Amino acid sequence: MNTASDLTIVIPAKNEAKLFPRLLTSLASQDYPQMRNTKVLVADANSTDGMPDIVMSFRDRLDVGVIPGGLPSVGRNAGAALADTRYVLFIDADVHPASPSLIRRAVELAQRKNLHCVTTNIICPDGGSMDRLLYFGNNLFQQLSRIHHPFSTGMFMLFEKRRFDELGGFHEQVHFAEDYLLSKQVARSKFAIVRGGVYTTNRRFQKMGHLRVARLFLKTAFNYWNERHLLRDHDYWA
Distance CA 24, CA 20 (A): 6
At residue 17, the pLDDT reads: 95
Identify the band that residue 221 occupies on the pLDDT scale cut at 50, 70 and 90: low
Strands (E) located in 94-136: 95-97, 117-119, 122-123
SS3 20: helix
At residue 145, the pLDDT reads: 84
Distance CA 38, CA 24 (A): 12
pLDDT in tens, 96-139: 999 999 999 999 999 999 999 999 999 998 888 888 888 888 88
Give the residue from 60, 62, 47, 58 showing the smallest Cα distance to 16. 47
Q: Which domains does the chain have, with CATH numbers?
A: 7-231 (3.90.550.10)
| Dihedral over Cα of 167, 120, 104, 11: its sign | positive
